[in-house]
Structure 1
Amino acid sequence: MRKVGVFVGVTAGIFSMFLWVVFSFFNPYSTPSAEPTLNTFVTLFLPACLAIFASLTSKKFLMLAAFLWSLPISYYVLLTPSIFALFGVTCILYFLSFLLLLFTKDHNLNV
């Protein structure tokens, strides 16, 4: 289950980063400007980076932090009728990854 949690976290983070690039630079609904790009960088891109780091290092509570960090804007964008509603899905996947990592038992034998 640990591998599934890592896969879900890394995949969600990479997909969220890809969505942010599309949202910021190729968004057909708005023109690129500095303030929204910076705000979404902090609230969507950086939590995605944290989620990838947390998945690869199995830092469970960093994954929870990535989920909570991106939750407000992800929930807001989830309610829009566009492809960017997928930010809500990636946020939910952060939480799923956190749960999978949390309930995975480490069976490492220190020999």
Structure 2
Amino acid sequence: MRNTQEGSVKKTLKKSSFLGLVAAIITIVLWLLLNFFNPYSNETNNGTTLLTLFMLVLPAITAIISYFTSRKLLMLIAFIWSLPLSLYMLMTPGIFLLFGITSFCYLFSYIFMRKKQRLLE
């Protein structure tokens, strides 16, 4: 009986963390656009590529892991980790302002996961 309840809780948490998964996938696609198909620049800067990889893609991977493991703390870590660069990107006038939106989606996903877990307890 207990295993059935734990499985049910994990499925419910996965549903509430789906927003974070979608945001992480969008972040990775945007990162590829930013670094390799940037409509605003013709050159690739290795320093910028590594910085954005560390500050945007790795938090996105953390959010994906959070989705598959149903660990809400990882989603919060993904939000906090990506926040500084995402806030900067949010101020830009182009498509890359979506990085800021995806970062806040990690936060909303964390909040949804937390509320769902409290409702199930």
**TM-score, normalised on structure 1?**
0.90
Tell me, in whole angstroms, the C-alpha distance in 2 between the residues paired with 1:92 and 1:67: 7
Q: Which structure 2 residue ranges, 5 or more long, are not aligned?
A: 1-11
**1:81 and 2:70 are equivalent in the alignment:** no
Tell me, in whole angstroms, the C-alpha distance in 2 between the residues paired with 1:21 and 1:57: 25
**1:24 and 2:24 are equivalent in the alignment:** no
Q: Which residue of 2 aligns with 1:5?
A: 16
- Alignment-mate amino acid for residue 101 of structure 1: M
Higher alpha-carbon Rg:
2
Q: Which structure 1 residue ranges, 5 or more long, are not aligned?
A: none
Greater helix share, 1 or 2? Answer: 2
Tell me, in whole angstroms, the C-alpha distance in 2 between the residues paired with 1:5 and 1:39: 30
- Alignment-mate amino acid for residue 57 of structure 1: T
Shift of 1:3: 4.2
Q: Superposed, which structure 2 residues align to 1:1-111 within 5 Å?
A: 2-30=13-41, 31-105=43-117, 107=120
What secondary structure sits across from 2:97 in the alignment? helix
- Report % sequence identity: 44
Tell me, in whole angstroms, the C-alpha distance in 1 between the residues paired with 2:15 and 2:101: 17
Equivalent residues, number:
108
**TM-score, normalised on structure 2?**
0.83
Q: What RMSD over aligned residues (CA atoms) do the two structures have, in Å?
A: 1.6
Tell me, in whole angstroms, the C-alpha distance in 2 between the residues paired with 1:19 and 1:63: 19
Tell me, in whole angstroms, the C-alpha distance in 2 between the residues paired with 1:12 and 1:5: 13
Tell me, in whole angstroms, the C-alpha distance in 1 between the residues paired with 2:26 and 2:15: 16
